[in-house]
Amino acid sequence: MLRTSHTSSAPISSLLTALVCSAVVLCASPGLAAEGTAAEPTAPRVLASSDVTAVWADNDGFARFGLGLQLSFEDIANPQKLRIFGAGEGLDLSIDLYAPISLRVIDDGVQTDAVFRRREWDENAEGLRVLRSLRLGSPYAPVYLALGNLGVTRAGHGSAVDGVNNNVDMDHFRWGVQTGLNAGRGGVELLVDDIRTPWLFGGRIWLRPGTGALSRRILVGASLFADPSAPLALHEQSPTGGGAAAAVPVSDDRGVLRVADSELFIVTGVDAELELIASSQFRLTPYVDLNIQPELGMGVHAGGFAAWTPGQAFSLSVRGEFRAMSSRYRPGYFGATYGAERYDLPGIDGVQTLLSVVRASEPGPHRGFAIDVEAHLTRLLAVGAGLESGNGLLPASMHLRGEVTVPVIGLRAALRWESGHYEHLRDIKVLERALIGSDVTWQMMPWLAIRATAGQRWRAAKGRAYEPIPEVSLGLVFSFRVD
């Protein structure tokens, strides 16, 4: 494993940015649309929004006033005209603009910022936060591009990158890039969580090498994902006044934790799957992944996807996976709360980084499992749940997601909850080490809706590297279509 200092990732970042930009240019290349020209775009749907968000951090309270604008273009290309590697499909484009301004409304005497919370705008890259996200297509479309806040991101079967979120830190907006090309015989996906100072980048390529009735159902892939400066130790200082109190992490003026020692961490692997059954009502795809984490160990993930769609009104999908791990291998290393865990792994005495804890853990072999279930009932209800467990390092985690729609009164409610990792499933708590997002929208009129959200993210804190922070917002959404 290559050892680097925490300031040595600039060449890697520059190379990565060039690679991703090249992929973006490739995705947009006119040469891909080899047959005909794209049809005229449909009239865009426009959402204009305003909201007030209450944020509680330390003993201070902030009111965040935000103005947003969302543009949605449906089927910007005619499915019969846009041809990419022989596959034609219409593409949707959405652009989400948002400008937040936070003012302190409660101050319990903690020595913090002024009335205006400059920390949300104190980095050059944070000017990009006005473009909160841009999405072209979907992850399985012939062309896919996502910029800004990437949301929940998985790669392949999720054995290395499993639900990672590039914006778990409320103080520092990260502007990521995810792009992919998907053809009938092969494809590629690239990911970088932040174009300026990435802590996750990499990609996966896949190919269907066969042409026979059975062999063309086989897919093989290879992936490599890395943290160019995974922290091993943080700068710490003893509390004022001395005594026996433990040292605490040190942040710079922007609230960024100072890393004392770091190294390049890599997860590389190969995978294969077989589309065993593919009918209009039932699909079954077994798969196997083999990953290597240099100096930590190797892991095998063997499982399968099953989907049952008896009709348009109902669908059910299940994923089950068995895991066999050697030495100190950790499955799904880049998980939902990796942005905080890389600095401070919860459930461990003191402040210890994820990589330092993994390297000092008891070696395997270990075994474990993971399961996900998701069900959809027309457009009224969607629910899902998943858990993982085993006998490795903090192997137990759980996630829940759901969405309910009541068309008669124009009500929609959604929830997503991701727990951190625990030693046992029985130890899982609702709020501790959790990433939470929820919203309720009431469409009062065709052009007006009220939207309320509640969630929990993270920020650098005194005494620990990170702590959970609740956020609650209430706002109005105006929608109209431009002809």
Please write down the HEC assignment for all residues of 360-387.
Answer: HCCCCCEEEEEEEEEEEECCCEEEEEEE
pLDDT computed for residue 315 by the predictor: 95
Reported in sequence order, the residue ranges of 172-280 that DSSP labels E, i.e. its strands, are: 176-182, 186-192, 201-207, 218-234, 236-237, 248-249, 259-274, 277-278
The SS3 of residue 215 is helix
Q: Quick check: 439 pLDDT over 70?
A: yes
State the chain's maximal CA–CA distance in angstroms. 75
| pLDDT for the residue 123 | 67
Confidence of residue 76 (pLDDT cuts 50, 70, 90): low
Domain-by-domain residue ranges, the chain? 3-481
Q: Answer yes or no: is pLDDT of 112 > 60.
A: no
Burial 72-106 (b: 16+ CB within 10 A, else e): bbeebbeeeebbbbeebbbbbbbbbbbebebebee
Q: Give the model's confidence band at 85: pLDDT under 50 very low, under 70 low, under 90 confident, else very high.
A: very low
- What's the pLDDT tens digit per position in 385-408? 999 887 676 778 888 999 999 988
Task: Label residue 264 by pLDDT band (50, 70, 90).
Answer: very high
Asked if omega into 30 is within 30° of 0 (cis), the reply is no
Q: How many CB atoms lie within 10 A of CB 366?
A: 23
CA–CA gap between residue 111 and residue 139 (Å, rounded): 45
Residue 252 near residue 258, CB atoms below 8 Å: yes
Tokens of 394: 């903090």
CA quadruple 453, 454, 460, 462: dihedral sign: positive
Among 190, 207, 201, CA closest to 143: 190
Predicted model pTM: 0.82
pLDDT at 36 over 50: no
Rounded Cα distance between 254 and 263, Å, is 23
- Single-letter amino acid code for the residue at 321: E
Rounded to whole angstroms, the Cα distance separating 399 from 470 reads 18
199 phi-psi bin (left φ>0, alpha ψ -120 to 50, beta other): alpha
Looking from the CA of 228 toward its CB, the CA atoms found within 13 Å total 21
Report, as an integer, the average pLDDT of 170-188.
89
Contact (Cβ atoms closer than 8 angstroms) between residue 161 and residue 153: yes
DSSP per residue over 21-78, as a string? HHHHHHHH-GGG--SS-PPPPPPPEEEEEEEEEEEEETTEEEEEEEEEEEEEE---S-
Question: Does the pLDDT at position 18 exceed 60?
Answer: no
User: How far is residue 398's CA from residue 337's CA, in Å, rounded to a whole number?
Assistant: 12
Task: Report the sign of the C-alpha dihedral through residues 36, 40, 41, 42, in that order.
Answer: negative
Whether the per-residue pLDDT at 267 is higher than 80: the answer is: yes
More confident residue, 117 or 229: 229
Task: At 126, give phi and psi (nearest 5°).
Answer: -75, -10
Q: Compute the average pLDDT of residues 36-58.
A: 58
Highest mean pLDDT pick, 96-105, 120-129, 137-146, 227-236:
227-236
